Structure 1
Amino acid sequence: MASTTTDPLLGRLVDGRYEIVARVARGGMATVYRARDRRLGREVAVKVMHPHLADGVDGASFVSRFRREARAAARLSHPGVVAVFDQGLDGDTSYLTMEYVEGSNLRAELQQGPLPVGRALDVAAQVLEALAAAHRVGLVHRDIKPENVLLGSDGTVKVADFGLARAVTEVTSTASGTILGTVAYLAPEVITSGGTSPATDVFAVGVLLSEMLTGTVPYPGEPPIGVAFHHVHEDLPAPSQRVDWLPAELDRLVASFTARDPHRRPAHAGAAGAAVAGARALLDPDVLDRRADRPVLPAEDDGDDDPGTGPDDDPDAPRPGSADAVDEIPTAFFTEVPAGEHRTEHLVTEPTHALAGPVGAGPPAPERTHRRGAVVWAVLLVLLLGGGGAGTWWWFAAGPGAWTTVPAGLVGAPAEDADAALAAQGLDAETRERHHDDVPAGDVVATDPASGERVRRDGSVELVVSLGVRMLTVPADLVGSPRQDAEAALDAEGFAVEVDTVHDDAAPEGEVLGTSVPGGSRQRHDTVVTLTVSDGPAPVSVPQVVGRSADEAEEDLAAAGLEVAYADPETSTEVAEGRVLAQDPEQGTTARRTDTVTLTLSAGPPQAEVPDVTGMTGDEATAALEEAGFEVEVTGLLGGWLPAFRDEVREQEPTGSAPVGSTVTITVW
Structure 2
Amino acid sequence: MDTTLQDPLVGRVLDGRYRVDARIAVGGMATVYRALDTRLDRVLALKVMHPTLAADGSFVERFIREAKSVARLAHPNVVQVFDQGTDGSYVYLAMEYVAGCTLRDVLRERGALQPRAALDILEPVLAALGAAHRAGFVHRDMKPENVLIGDDGRVKVADFGLVRSVDTVTSTTGAVLGTVSYLAPEQIEHGTSDTRVDVYACGVMLYEMLTGAKPHVGDSPAQVLYAHLHEDVPAPSAVVPGLPAALDTLVAAATARSPEFRPYDAVALLGQVLEVRAALTPEQLDAVPPQAITAQHDNAGDRTSVIPRSLTVPRPLPVDGDGPDPLNRTSLLATPPVPPRVPGRPRRGLLTVVVAVVLALGIGTGVWYINSGQFTKVPQLLEKTQAQAEARLKDEGLGVKKVEHRYSDAIRRGTVISTDPKAGARIRKHDSVTLVVSDGPETVKVPDLEGLSLAKARSRLKEDGLEPGMVTREFNDDVPRGFLIGSDPESGTERHAGSAIALVVSKGSPVDVPDVTGEDLSDARADLAEAGLKVKVATGRVNSEFDAGQVAEQTPEADSEAADGDTVTLTISKGPQMIEVPDVVGDSVDDAKKALEDAGFKVDEDRGLLGLFGDTVKKQSVAGGETAPKGSTIKITIR
Q: Structure 2 length normalisation: TM-score?
A: 0.45
Select the structure of larger CA radius of gyration.
Answer: 1
Q: With CA pairs under 8 Å and 6+ residues apart, which has the higher RCO, 1 or 2?
A: 1
